Amino acid sequence: MKQWLFAILGTAAAVLFVLPMTGRAAGGEPQAFYRPDTPKFPQARTWVAQKAELPPYKAPRTPDGVPNLQGNWNGPIGGGNDDLEEHDYIDVTTPPQESYVSDPPDGKVPYTPWALAKRNEIRAGLARGWPGETGQRLYGDPNALCLVGMPRLSFGAQEILQKPGAVIMLTTNTYRVIPTDGRPHMSSSAKSFFGNSRGRWEGETLVVDITGLNGETWIDSAGNFYGPNTHMVERWTMVEANTIDYQITIDDPSLYTRPWTMTYPKRRAGTGPGANPLSTTAVGAAGNVGTDPYAKEFWEQTCTEGNHDNLVVLKKLGFKWFNPPTP
Amino acid sequence: MPVKRTFVGSVVALAAFVSFTLASTPGAAQTSGTYTPPKTREGQPDLQGIWQVLNTAAWDIQDHSATLGVPAGRGVVEGNEIPYTPAALAKKQENFKNREALDPVNKCFLPGVPRVTYMPYPFQIVQQADRVTILYEYSRVIRFVYMNGNPHPAGHIDWYMGDSRGRWDGNTFVVDVTDFNDETWFDRAGNHHSDALHVVERFTRTGPDHMLYEVTIEDPKVFTRPWKMSMPLYRRQEKDVELLEYECGAYLLKQEWDKPNSQLFR
């Protein structure tokens, strides 16, 4: 969110001034300035190939006999979800990266023609200084307004807790409670940012069926969007002691020609490529458990409360309010 | 942005748990008694579930008459009087006059403690051995109450929801909260505090579906003595009840974005 706003301000000075203060990305890994020769970050293509080589794994069980997913989990490594499709180097905060999309195999979101045109129109009006922009300002990333929705929440770090009949996912400033007791969905006419989640266990996998999404947030910060009729199904499967295979299938015949799926690994905090083993709290600032007794605690994180100046800037720059597009 | 967890100098263990001996009032005694709550798997009294108040404290924690859209209500302050200093009382009256513009909740800011408890939205208590997490439907506010042996961090830290440390006093869950900023109110009527606010909450199950919620408020910059609130919490009974979504900030922005003279963007 902050990276995006600074891109609008478009001054290197602003970036240099602020990044040291925000210098931790989700997961507590050090934020980096990327260069055109930064190696491409692996995402779905690489992970699907790696996963195929793993031996079968059966997760430990909770006292209720279901797979135990509890703990602190990071989001995917790399440049975040600035642009979920495969891309080369774009700017200092957007390194080259494989697509998050594992299906279809070309890694593209299978938009219908009008929806693809709309996505491209949004992207051309981001005013981030990216190639292909018109120079006009259209919409800002809703995340910059402290709007959080699915599936972007799962791209971040979270703690998973399990209770009889529910899986609870926590960050420092928001949460999901996913009933797994077989209750039916609410009417899908009741819309919300996180939608209405219903979980069930299929062998090793927590399957979460999400309806009632309002479509008012994006899937990444580059204008890839969904809508109020979109249906999402997440699949959370432990494939190693410290790795969850996360898959989300997104379906909406009014926007996409077929259902499509993103896939990435979520690593237990302190594990995985490039992790700091002393950082056991994925959520929030990285603390050192060796020296800081508070390192494992989640402390207050605000958004709306400190966002006034950002709002004023975005309004003055003429960005419009994003409503989910319709054909 | 997460607060950087660096502690310079010696950690001064703040008096973590201060108990007050206040004159007991009939209201507080309504329940205590003999109910023994079931235990969690970790062996602690089980407070888990979805709870909500049934009162008008969100509008005014003191006795008040009805106005348009506001039901009349009995206050939740024991004895009804709040012992403001003269200057603080004047500020309360000023706040009341200008409450539409000044109430931080009208900007969708985090509501503070104990106000978040008695807003008209449910909340869910989730227990672990060394931490109680309270999830509030209102703006998906989340509170982590630690019982891991750490005292309040060396402060002062300006937090909307404060720093919460819990302990068990028999079957009562006691939460000591410090490190507040001075930017939250107790209700829509302008009752206020400073950053010296110290809150002690006591959660006591009084039956299968009821819990007594007692709060002691101390703030020497604003009040001449500690004072108390108490109210029952009710377990939500609806089949398949769950926390839903009230994204205050999002709704406010959506409403104000295209208004030519919105105060929000000044």
Q: Are A224 and A215 in contact (CB under 8 A)?
A: no
Residue A158 CA neighbour count, 13 Å, CB half:
22
Amino acid letter for position B37: P
Cα A168 to Cα A159: distance, rounded to the nearest angstrom: 8
**In the structure encoding, which two tokens stand for residue B103, read together?**
């109430």
CB atoms within 10 A of CB B223: 19
CB-based contact A299 B2, cutoff 8 Å: yes
Amino acid letter for position A46: T
Look up residue A172 and give its DSSP letter.
Answer: S
CB-based contact A163 B161, cutoff 8 Å: no
Q: What residue of A is the nearest CA neighbor of B239? A: A183
B154 touches chain A (CB under 8 A): no
Cα B253 to Cα B231: distance, rounded to the nearest angstrom: 33
Q: Which helix (H) or strand (E) holds A177?
A: strand A175-179
Q: Are B203 and B211 in contact (CB under 8 A)?
A: yes
- Please give the pLDDT value at position A253: 97
Cα B118 to Cα B96: distance, rounded to the nearest angstrom: 19
Mutate to test the interface with A, among B245, B246, B259 (most CBs of A within 10 A): B245
Q: Are A140 and A319 in contact (CB under 8 A)?
A: yes
Q: Which 3 state secondary structure label does DSSP give A146?
A: coil
Q: Are β-strands B163-169 and A196-202 bridged in parallel, bridged antiparallel, or unpaired?
A: unpaired
Q: Report the DSSP beta bridge partners of residue A315.
A: none
Work out the minimum CA distance from B26 to partner chain A, whole angstroms: 36
Whose CA is closest to A203, among A70, A65, A55?
Answer: A65
pLDDT < 50 positions in chain B: 1-31
Which residue in A183, A311, A321 is closest to B240 by CB distance? A183
CB-based contact B160 A302, cutoff 8 Å: yes
Mutate to test the interface with B, among A72, A294, A309, A312 (most CBs of B within 10 A): A294
Three-state helix/strand/coil letters over A220-235: CCCCCECCCCCEEEEE
Which residue in A177, A298, A299 is closest to B243 by CB distance? A177
Which residue in A63, A146, A285 is closest to B5 by CB distance? A285
* pLDDT tens-place values along chain A, 327 residues long: 334 443 333 333 333 222 322 333 333 344 568 899 999 999 999 999 999 999 999 999 999 999 999 999 988 876 667 899 999 999 988 999 999 999 999 999 999 999 999 999 999 999 999 999 998 999 999 999 999 999 998 888 899 999 999 999 999 889 999 999 999 999 999 999 999 999 999 999 999 999 999 999 999 999 999 999 999 999 999 999 999 999 999 999 999 999 999 999 999 988 887 776 666 555 555 566 667 888 888 888 889 998 999 999 999 999 999 999 988
CB-based contact B242 A179, cutoff 8 Å: yes
Helices A2-9 and A12-22 meet at what angle, rounded to 10? 160
- Please give the pLDDT value at position A289: 66
Q: Are B87 and A282 in contact (CB under 8 A)?
A: no
- Please give the pLDDT value at position A286: 56
Cα A50 to Cα A52: distance, rounded to the nearest angstrom: 5
- Please give the pLDDT value at position A156: 86
Which residue in B7, B148, B247 is closest to A193 by CB distance? B247
Q: Which 3 state secondary structure label does DSSP give B138?
A: strand
- Please give the pLDDT value at position A282: 53
Amino acid letter for position A320: K
Q: Are A313 and A9 in contact (CB under 8 A)?
A: yes
pTM over 0.95: no
Q: Are β-strands B163-169 and B142-146 bridged in parallel, bridged antiparallel, or unpaired?
A: parallel
CB atoms within 10 A of CB B23: 8
Residues 290-309 of A with CB under 8 A from B: 292-306
Work out the minimum CA distance from B241 to partner chain A, whole angstroms: 10
- Please give the pLDDT value at position A32: 66
State the burial class of residue A314 (Cβ atoms within 10 Å of its Cβ: 0-12, 13-18, 19+). buried
